[in-house]
Amino acid sequence: MTNFSEKKDELTELIKELSEINAVSGQEDSAFTLVKNYLDNYCQDISSDNLNNLIAKKSALSEDESNPKIMLAAHLDEIGLMVKSIDDKGFIKFATIGGVDPRTLPAQEVIIQGKEEVAGIIGAMPPHLLSKKERNKAHKLEDLYIDTGRKPENLQDIVQIGDPVTIKRELTSLQNEFVSGKALDDRAGVLMMLITARELAKIKHEAEVYFVATSQEEIGVKGSQTATYNIFPDIGIAIDVCHGLMPGVDKGDAAKMADGPAVSFGPHVHPDLFNLITETADNYNIPYQKSPTTTPYGTDAASIQITKSGVATALISIPLRYMHTSVEMISLDDVKAGGQLLARVIAEIDKDFLEGLQCY
């Protein structure tokens, strides 16, 4: 078991660990030990299921069938690439796992998760050799390849078709509380979930809480579907990232950076939950932003809400710039605030609140 505190350097260390571990959709188990180490402090029961969801259960104070059952979901998987073909010179062609923009790939260092880790470069032709026309066209996925510098016979037993590939990126601390790295979508969400667990340990709560690091969100919010079916909570709160304001992005499509986590509302969010979250934030002076959206698609909230006979759902997001690049950027303050907020929200949920959920 490892523990952590709220101090900036410890949180930074933790987000660094979470960001740098390589766990592409389908390979989430590589990050299990890391996440388990922290959740072990707060949860009695940690297991994984058939789809690589990591499910940690924290029992309520008293065992009672009618205790509210709350599930938090932050996805553990990251987007990445997959080896699809190795040519006779040893150059590796790849497919994408999740929404990868091919334009973010040229001139990147990558790590192939083969039998051992193999370093490579997604090559970019120098400008001297390119025509003006070529330089004005974005790279197509089909034309990109990984150069490991090795001959095919040296790759043979180490790298094979299907091996995942991630961008080699270490976390960078920028000014203020901003950090940048790969996979902050949704490792920042996982961090928020860990902070919630930690904060919750200090408060009394009626509810039984499930902390779920979901799998395969990036390729179709799959893990959350089966995890929710399994647990079938009364309330499901998805923790993900949303777009952060930057030039060229409309206010209506993004949230401000470092202005508190974004609390989503729209058809996918139960109005009582939205009100509870915002009122709780107001009461405890926790910064947050209201984030209206027309659709839950793109987060675990989409599958949670429609499971079985329905789950009251909410979505809280960390504003993030440069989503799905390897230099995603978030504010640790937003993550901290979200964790504190969720813990307070969970503590407010009792049997009466549950009853009200069916009243429209």
**67, 180, 305, 317: which one contacts other proteins (CB under 8 A)?**
305
CA 248 → CA 88, 184, 257, 326, distances in Å? 43, 22, 15, 20
Q: What is the maximal distance between C-alpha atoms in the chain?
A: 71
CB of 78 to other proteins, least distance (A): 14
Please list every residue from 271 through 300 that binds other proteins, using CB under 8 A.
Answer: 290, 292, 294-295, 297
Q: State yes or no: is 13 an active-site residue.
A: no
Q: Contact at 8 Å (CB) between 208 and 352?
A: no
**219, 245, 258, 347: which one contacts other proteins (CB under 8 A)?**
219
Out of 17, 199, 206, 217, the active site residue is 217
Say whether residue 229 binds other proteins (CB under 8 A): yes
Measured from the Cβ of residue 287, the count of other Cβ atoms closer than 10 Å reads 14
Q: To the nearest 10°, the Cα dihedral for 114, 120, 122, 123?
A: -150
Cis peptide before 186 (omega within 30 of 0): yes
Which residue bears the tokens 């009394």? 204
Per CB under 8 A, the segment of 34-42, 57-65, 82-90, 275-283 that binds other proteins is 82-90
- What are the DSSP calls for 98-162, one per residue? SS--GGG-TTEEEEEESSSEEEEEE----GGGS-HHHHTSPPPGGG--EE-S--HHHHTTT--TT
Q: Kindly tell me which of 36 and 268 has the beta carbon lying closer to other proteins.
A: 268
CB of 357 to other proteins, least distance (A): 5
**268, 324, 336, 344: which one contacts other proteins (CB under 8 A)?**
268
Catalytic residue annotation: 217
Which stretches of the chain bind other proteins, using CB under 8 A? 25-26, 49-51, 53, 82-85, 93, 95-97, 142, 160-162, 216, 219, 222, 225-226, 229-230, 250-253, 265-268, 270, 290, 292, 294-295, 297, 305-312, 357-360
